Amino acid sequence: MPEPTEVVSSKGTQEIGHEGEAAVVEALPELPLTSNHRTVTETIPHETEEIEDATILKNRREIAQEGKDGLRTIEYEDYLLNGKVEASKEISRTEVEPTKEIVKVGSLVKTKPTVEITNLIKEESKKAVAVNYHLDDPTSAFVKAKAQIYQNGTLVKEVNLKDPSAQQTIDGLDYYTSYNLKTYLTYNLGQSDQESTEVSTKDFQLDYKKIEIKDVDEVGLYGKEDGHYRRYLNLSEVPSDLSPYFVKVKSDKMKEMLLPVSSIKETDDGKYKVTVAFNELVQEKGSAYKDNYSFTVDKQKLAKDSVYTSFKKLIAAMQDNLAGTFKLGADMTADEVALAKGQTSYVTGTFTGNLIGASDGQPFAIYDLKTALFDNLTKATVKDIDLKAVAIKSQEDTASLAKVATNSQISNVAVEGQLTGSKSVAGLVAKAQDTEISNSSFTGSIQAKHTDASPYYVGGIAGLLSGNKAKIDKVAVDASISSNARNNDQFAGGIVGKVQSGALVSHALASGTILNTTTYPRVGGIAGSTWQNGRIHHVVSMVNTGDGYAITGDQYMGADIKDASTTVENKKADLYATSITQDQASEKVQSYGMTVTLDDTGQTLKDNQRSVDYTQLSQGQASRKVAYHNIEKLMPFYNKELVVHYGNQVDPTDKLYTTELLDVVPMRDNDIITDIQANKATINKLMLHFADNTISYLDVTYKEDFKNTQIAEYSVAGKNFIFTPEAFLSDYTKVTDQVLADLQGVEYDSAAMRRVLGIEADDSLDPLYLDKEFEKLKANIGEHLRKVLAMDKSINTMGDSVATYISEKIKNNKEAFLLGLTYLNRWYNINYDHINTKDLNTYKFDFDGSSTASTLDTIIALGQSGMENLKASNNISAYETTLAPAKGRKTVTDLLESYRKLFLPTKTNNEWLKTNTKAYIVESKSEIPEVRAKQESATPDSNYTLGVFDRITAPSWKLKNMLLPLLTLPEEDVYVISNLSTLAFGGYERYRDRVNNTVLSGEELRQYVRAKVDQSAEWQRDHYDIWYHLLSPEYKEKLFRSVMVSDGFGMKDSNSKYYWATLSDKAIASIYNFFGPTGKWYGESKGAGAYANGSEVHYVSDRLLDKYGTSVYTHEMVHNSDGHIYFEGKGRREGLGAELYALGLLQSADNLDKDAIVLNTSIKGIRIH
């Protein structure tokens, strides 16, 4: 655009109206003239207005309306002459008005916002809290905020609060931790962000007390099918009716649980989810808890040709084709098949085919065998299979795989479980002829309860192995074996009972224990015998064989035994054993090349296992491992965080901090309580049994029931923790209503009882000596039953299916149940001064810390163990074969002594027995100082001891079975005299004399007999003191022995009438309560006063406690002592009879007025000549 030029203007002289005339008159020269259009714009400045605004920070300006300049536009027409503007003419003019700028000028002064915590909701199961806030920010100074969690003043967690108006969840918290919730605020007052911690805070702690199943070794689904109960390892579909089902949970930390099923659902991964639901039960999932408890069961696989997934179908197929080939396609349970009465194998007849426990490279297991899988294997093959949870009881040829195997191949077979038999018992095969068993193992227990003298064989792998082709190679056994071998045809070995006829045991490891209830020697860590031509090569024995040998039970020279080693020092030295270290043994065993294992099957069962390491929890402390274990014992049902919480409060000086508990026993004063429900409010004391074999006590007070009402809680005096018994509360009416009538209807002397005992219809039950106790127990069976149920399981109180299962077990075994219960009540009703242990012995099988034994099952098994086992006189072997596995002590003596050490640690066994038996015991110490000193300082195993307990439990004493009858005498009707050489026993009824025309009875009889016992004990003592003076030192020592003296069984009835009582005489208390149960009896020898047999003295018509009886005593002990002691080994003079010395020379006078030349070695007094 050209620059604008100034307007040129001039003033005309032409008159108005005559314009232009001069141009006409006066001619002008013509010039070129042009025009140009031009536009000119001009800015019109805008104005600015300021307005005060109270919503804007002071000194801050904010443009409310932006200012805009106006615009003026002028249009011109320029006239140019010769390119020069000669004139311009404005054509138009337009304007755009300017816009005023409005500026807000702030006058606001900002204030700090506040955040208040208005509500905190604990979500314990999620380990979280939900928090609500209120933000007060009138001047909009809020920028952001954080929730901060403090523990003991230390920041442990921060969460951004994106929207303070929304509820905020803070998770990842710990239980039983004191927290402080604060809010960290960021705000801005105009210049820059500022930060501060808000005044509003909240203290909180998440307390969580729920029922949690913390330790699970095995969980299984059980139910009733075709009239019998079974386990389900898999399901083909969801059951339409759940009422027959229940869940069994096993743990090594708690007693078994029986729980009702609430639901079963199929899962996305091809399994079934089984759920148990009851009030307050939870299960941890991830970092939180959810209600109820669940586990999985496999879905049953489809069977293929010769591949089976059902035990029932497998057995049917093998039975149908004994020569076929069969494979397992899944883990399976033998519970599918109900055994007929007397059935001793699942597959009967001779199996000549092949059983392979693997398919597609995956091995499988058969669970729950109740008898041998095969009756007879001949030219058969069995391989690659596990037999787990075996529980077999049989009368003869008891084994898990086969009773008999001939010319067969058995390889890679692993067995785990328990076997009990009356004759030959073995882990895999009872009798193997020309059969090879390789790369196989047995783990578990074997009990042989043989009752007669016929041959039997007990072994971890095989009972009897024979034949040149027979071989056991690359095998391992870890077992607890008990037997009662008593002659040359009865054998027990860790690997095999007997190996003979060229058979070979090689590359074998045996570990565990073998307890033989007799001292018979045919017991070996590897084999009971190799006679004849048995071979043992390259073996290691780690077996404690008691009175047996490390390798083989028969120690003849020249046996084919090579490279046999042991790590155990047994009582007897083995000719063929080389002692090696544990490391050397491990190296040897590794070289054997065994690959057999139990770990390659049962994966789903393993997946369901649960365990807890309290030290690894967030608040766990490694140094408090023992304390956590003990708190768990004191409150077994609650969640692990509560255990840690209480465990962290145990004082380091408390024994609960340093020593593991084995058991916790509720008490009322000095009474042991087993029926928790009936005595809940009166329990006031706990007995703590520690692993160091000590006990202590805590006072407790009933506090309340837990929320689900089945757990009783107790406050513990002086402690910060609580106690809950390991038993859900119940009166068990669901069970008792179903079984009491059946139990009350059982008759002791009945055909049904004889069937259970395995005796004939005309056999007597008298040798049991249980009839009186049976009637007493049956009269209070409801009380006894509740105790059994309360102690049997930790939880068995919920669900009709559980009650029905228990009820049917009791009803189906009612005779055995009552018999076993009666036996325990009778023979284990034992006092330790102020503590009676009957309930501890009868109902509580976890006192030693083991939770595996079932009270109900043990009682039934005891009742089913047969007449021979239950005879009172066999109480020693009955304990060792039937009760020891449940009680955790090998022998009766071990059990009783362990209790004595706990309850009466300052007393000896003898002092305890003497003060707790109702027998009258006199221990007559010598008056010779050196002898008395020996007697008073004697150890229990010394020949010098006078203690009755020590003497009747000594290895040389034949009647160890008298200990329980002595301890459980219901009344004082037996006496015992113990002196340097003899141990005398007699019954009070023998002295039921008529004095002052009155037959002695009751307390008068007791005082009368005691006085006679005291006097006789002195006479006997004095007799041996004289002989001690007479003998040389060597033969003085031979006087220290235990010759049994029996006062005879010529008794007097209540009218003082004499008769010779029998062992079935229930009217004579000393026989019924002591001599009968001991089995000590002999018939009346007419015309005999007494007699000796070289090792004992039997009184007949004469009475030991009479003055003349003492003279007879010295007479009979001449017979038992003359040649080898009194005559110092020189024997009697040749040609002279025994009576010359006993009657003619050495018998002591019976009174001081005797008109004869006789010795007086017993009666003190003054004789006037």
pLDDT digits (tens, 9 = 90+) for 521-549: 689 999 999 999 999 999 999 999 988 99
Range list for CATH 2.160.20.110 in the chain:
385-591
Whether 443 has a pLDDT exceeding 80, the answer reads: yes
Average pLDDT, the chain: 93
CA distance 133 to 115: 7
Q: Which of the four pLDDT bands, split at 50, 70 and 90, describes residue 1148? A: low
Query: 375 — phi, psi (to 5°)?
Result: -80, -50
Beta strand 293-299 pairing with 271-276: antiparallel
- What number is the average pLDDT over the span 825-838? 98
What pLDDT, on a 0 to 100 scale, did the predictor assign at position 52? 85
CA distance 1048 to 1055: 19
Q: Which of the four pLDDT bands, split at 50, 70 and 90, describes residue 391? A: very high
Beta strand 436-448 pairing with 409-421: parallel
pLDDT digits (tens, 9 = 90+) for 543-581: 999 889 999 999 999 999 999 999 998 888 999 999 999
What pLDDT, on a 0 to 100 scale, did the predictor assign at position 1127? 80
Residue percentage of the chain with pLDDT more than 70: 95
Whether 993 has a pLDDT exceeding 60, the answer reads: yes
CA distance 664 to 846: 9
Count other C-beta atoms under 10 Å from residue 27's C-beta.
7
**CA distances to 186, 258, 620, 703, 813 from 788, in Å:** 67, 15, 36, 25, 14
What pLDDT, on a 0 to 100 scale, did the predictor assign at position 992? 98
- What number is the average pLDDT over the span 338-366? 96
Structure tokens at 732: 């068990």
What pLDDT, on a 0 to 100 scale, did the predictor assign at position 9? 42
What pLDDT, on a 0 to 100 scale, did the predictor assign at position 105? 85
Ranking 51-55, 465-469, 828-832, 1090-1094 by mean pLDDT, the lowest is 51-55
CA distance 56 to 67: 20
pLDDT digits (tens, 9 = 90+) for 116-130: 999 999 999 999 999
- What number is the average pLDDT over the span 279-302? 95
How big is the chain by its Cα radius of gyration, in Å?
49
Residue holding tokens 């145990």?
650
Q: Which of the four pLDDT bands, split at 50, 70 and 90, describes residue 1169? A: low
pLDDT digits (tens, 9 = 90+) for 168-202: 999 999 999 999 999 999 999 988 999 999 999 99
Query: 668 — phi, psi (to 5°)?
Result: -120, 105
Q: Which of the four pLDDT bands, split at 50, 70 and 90, describes residue 1? A: very low
Active-site annotation holds for 1116:
yes
What pLDDT, on a 0 to 100 scale, did the predictor assign at position 80? 87
What pLDDT, on a 0 to 100 scale, did the predictor assign at position 12? 46
Q: Which of the four pLDDT bands, split at 50, 70 and 90, describes residue 1156? A: low
CA distance 97 to 256: 98
What pLDDT, on a 0 to 100 scale, did the predictor assign at position 927? 96
Whether 5 has a pLDDT exceeding 60, the answer reads: no
Tell me how long the chain is.
1169
Q: Which of the four pLDDT bands, split at 50, 70 and 90, describes residue 1149? A: low
CA angle (475, 481, 482) in 5-degree steps = 155
Whether 229 has a pLDDT exceeding 90, the answer reads: yes
Query: 987 — phi, psi (to 5°)?
Result: -105, 145
Structure tokens at 691: 């692993």
- What number is the average pLDDT over the span 430-447? 98
Q: What is the DSSP-derived secondary structure letter of residue 873?
A: G
Top CATH class of 110-204 equals: mainly beta
Whether 425 has a pLDDT exceeding 80, the answer reads: yes
Whether 1135 has a pLDDT exceeding 70, the answer reads: no
Question: What is the fold, at CATH topology level, of the domain defined by 385-591?
Answer: Pectate Lyase C-like (2.160.20)
- Identify the active-site residue in 30, 1116, 1128, 1134: 1116
Beta strand 1090-1092 pairing with 101-108: unpaired
CA distance 232 to 324: 27
Q: Which of the four pLDDT bands, split at 50, 70 and 90, describes residue 11? A: very low
What pLDDT, on a 0 to 100 scale, did the predictor assign at position 31? 64
Q: What is the DSSP-derived secondary structure letter of residue 244?
A: T
Range list for CATH 2.20.230.10 in the chain:
21-99
Q: What is the DSSP-derived secondary structure letter of residue 216?
A: B
Q: Which of the four pLDDT bands, split at 50, 70 and 90, describes residue 1157? A: low
3-state secondary structure of 965: helix
What pLDDT, on a 0 to 100 scale, did the predictor assign at position 7? 43
Yes or no: say if 328 and 366 are a contact pair by the CB < 8 Å rule: yes
Whether 22 has a pLDDT exceeding 50, the answer reads: no
For residue 620, how many C-alpha atoms fall within 13 Å in the half-sphere facing its CB? 15
H or E stretch covering 528: strand 527-529
- Domain with residues 21-99, CATH architecture: Single Sheet (2.20)
Ranking 229-233, 445-449, 654-658, 1100-1104 by mean pLDDT, the lowest is 445-449
